[in-house]
Amino acid sequence: EVVLTQSPATLSLSPGERATLSCRASQSVSSYLAWYLQKPGQAPRLLIYDASNRATGIPARFSGSGSGTDFTLTISSLEPEDFAVYYCQQRSNWPLTFGGGTKVEIK
C-alpha cells in the first residue's frame, strides 16, 4: 500500500500569511493526488485533484503542485476559514490511502 506522509503535523500561522503543506508518497503516484480540508465536526471537502486542479468552487488562493512522490498544497494568503486540518489522498494504487493530516492553526 502507498503510505502518504504529511508534514508538518501542525503549522502555526497568522491570517494573511502563506501556508505551504507537504505530502510525500512511499512510491510514485504520478499526479494522482488530491487534497481535502476538514473543519472540526464537519466532513472533508475536496480542494485539489490530480495534484493541481482546483475542485469546483475552490478559491484561487489554493494551489497544488508536484508529481511522483512529492506534493505541495499552497494557500497564498490565509483566510480565517482556512484554519483546519488538511489531508492528501492518492488514487494511483489500491487501496486508496490518505495522509495523516496537517493541522493549520492560528498563531
Partner 1 sequence: QVQLVESGGGVVQPGGSLRLSCAASGFTFSKYGIHWVRQAPGKGLEWVSFIQYDGSNKDYADSVKGRFTISRDNSKNTLYLQMNSLRAEDTAVYYCAKDASSYGTGLYYMDVWGKGTTVTVSS
- Name the residues that contact partner 1, by CB under 8 A: 1, 34, 36, 38, 42-46, 49-50, 55-56, 87, 89, 91, 94-101
> At its nearest, how many Å lie between partner 1 and the CB of residue 50?
8
Q: How far is the CB of 64 from partner 1 (least distance, A)?
A: 12
Min CB(23)–partner 1 separation in Å: 12
- Of the pair 82, 90, the CB lying nearest partner 1 is at 90
Bond into 95 cis (ω within 30): yes
**Which CB atom, from 77 or from 81, has the smaller least distance to partner 1?**
81
Instruction: Render the burial of 8-25: b for 16+ CB within 10 Å, e for the rest.
Output: eeebebeeeeebebbbbb
- What distance in Å separates the CA atoms of residue 50 and residue 64, rounded to the nearest whole number? 9
Residue closer to partner 1, measured from CB, 44 or 68: 44
